[in-house]
Structure formats: structure tokens, C-alpha cells
């Protein structure tokens, strides 16, 4: 019989830093990663179920923060391109999406003191990039038509990677909660995105919050969510 090893907590010799490893995929339903303070060494590493070049993707996640400064939500870096995919809030009401090092800036209605659900889609054939906020589409943009997103990625929550797996800046770090992080290697339909926002009943094939392999670094805590 295959043994399922428990999560391990490994204390490191760095002041105030520790590492938590989920040694097998974990169902994180109704849990959130909590980033309690500004830091250059607190983040979460995600290990995808699928590693291959992508001609399209959808990334969805839910965030709860009162930050007004720029901060990174989701960073997908390859060894050749640190901003292969980057989801970043520039300021209240302005979201940036990066694909292959090119950026699109999309306005959205900011809501303070309540969580917001974001989905970003992109497809190579047209370059069309869409941001969905709480199940509603924002104005479309265009990025890197004909591009292929590389594989072998380092995927990080809560920090922007300026180099593969590192190059963090505490002034771009997330302070708040993040949950329901899911990723597909295709573009979800509008009805699927609305269903995901209302019920969460879809099966991702790249990152699956209900079957997630991850590591936390620094002061990041896995806690029950506050709002359901």
C-alpha cells in the first residue's frame, strides 16, 4: 500500500524563516494562504500537474488585501523569461497582465474589505487577453500573438520573480490572503468562468486547488478562509 506522508515543517537557520512542504497533493478547499506582513522572503511555490509549452491558458484566484501599493499575485517564470506569466496589481483599480515579458494594463472596479475573484485568459492564435473580476469581463487587451509560453516553470504566489525562482522585492510583495488558485492550459468559456466564480465546480489540469502540491517559504500560513 502506498504511504501518504504527512506535511513536514522544517525549521531553517535563518532568523524568522521556515519552510513548510506538502509532501503529497493536498485538498485546500476553504483554506487560504495568509501573507501577514511585507517581506522579500515570504512566498508560496506551486508545483504544476502538467508541464508543457502552452498556446493558451486560464489562471484564476481569489485575493483579500487592502494594499494600495503595487504587488504581485501570481508569477510564472522560466529560465529564459522571468515574466512568462505575471498577474500584478499596479494600484487600486489597475491590473497588469504579462505574457512573454510584454504587459497589458486593464482597469477594473476595486472593492476594498472584501475578497475579489480574478480570472485571466490568454490565447496565442489571437493574442487576446481577458481579465474577469467576480465573474464579470473587463475590456480585452492583446499580448504576444503567436507566442508559446515556455515549460519548466517556477510558479510563485505573493512575490514577483525578477529571476528564475528569486529576485524578490518586498515592495512588490503581497500582504493579505490568497486562495482558490487554479490553472488550465486552455481558455475557459464565459459560462465556465461564471460557474467557477459561483460554485468552483470545475477540474483544472495545470494547477488544482483541490489537489495541490506546494511549499511555503518564510512567514506564510495556511488558515481557514474568513469569508465563507
Give the domains, in start order, of the chain with CATH numbers. Answer: 20-224 (2.60.120.200)
Q: Compute how many other C-beta atoms are within 10 angstroms of the C-beta atom of residue 216.
A: 23
Helix or strand (DSSP H, E) at 194: helix 190-198
Q: What pLDDT score does 149 carry?
A: 98
Predicted pLDDT of residue 10: 33
pLDDT along the chain (228 residues), means of 10: 35 44 83 97 96 97 96 98 98 97 97 94 98 97 97 97 96 97 98 93 93 96 80
* Helix (H) or strand (E) segment spanning residue 34: strand 31-35
pLDDT of residue 19: 64
* pLDDT at site 201: 75
CB-based burial of residue 109 (10 Å sphere; 0-12 exposed, 13-18 middle, 19+ buried)?
A: exposed
Is the pTM above the cut of 0.85? yes
Q: What grid cell was written down for 213?
A: 502540491
Report pLDDT for 11: 32
Q: For residues 20 and 114, what is the distance between their CA atoms, to the nearest angstrom?
A: 28
* 43 touches 157 (CB < 8 A): yes
Amino acid at each position: 500500500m502506498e504511504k501518504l506522508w504527512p506535511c513536514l515543517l522544517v525549521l531553517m537557520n535563518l532568523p524568522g524563516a521556515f519552510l513548510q512542504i506538502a509532501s503529497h497533493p493536498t485538498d485546500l478547499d476553504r483554506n487560504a494562504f495568509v501573507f501577514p506582513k511585507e517581506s522579500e522572503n515570504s512566498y508560496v511555490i506551486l508545483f504544476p500537474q502538467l508541464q508543457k509549452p502552452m498556446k493558451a491558458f486560464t489562471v484564476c484566484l481569489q485575493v483579500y488585501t487592502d494594499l494600495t501599493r503595487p504587488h504581485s499575485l501570481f508569477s510564472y517564470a522560466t529560465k529564459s523569461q522571468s515574466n512568462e506569466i505575471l498577474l500584478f496589481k499596479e494600484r487600486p483599480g489597475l491590473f497588469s497582465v504579462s505574457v512573454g515579458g510584454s504587459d497589458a494594463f486593464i482597469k477594473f472596479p476595486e472593492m476594498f474589505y472584501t475578497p475579489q475573484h480574478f480570472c485571466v485568459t490568454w490565447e496565442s492564435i489571437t493574442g487576446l487577453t481577458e481579465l474577469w473580476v467576480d465573474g464579470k469581463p473587463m475590456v480585452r487587451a492583446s499580448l504576444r500573438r503567436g507566442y508559446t509560453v515556455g515549460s519548466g516553470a517556477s510558479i510563485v504566489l505573493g512575490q514577483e520573480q525578477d529571476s528564475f525562482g528569486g529576485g524578490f522585492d518586498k515592495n512588490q510583495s503581497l500582504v493579505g490572503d490568497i486562495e482558490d488558485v487554479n490553472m488550465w492550459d486552455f481558455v475557459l468559456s464565459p459560462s465556465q468562468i461564471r460557474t467557477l466564480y459561483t460554485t468552483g465546480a470545475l477540474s483544472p489540469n495545470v494547477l488544482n486547488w483541490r489537489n495541490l502540491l506546494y511549499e511555503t517559504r518564510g512567514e506564510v500560513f495556511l488558515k481557514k478562509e474568513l469569508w465563507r
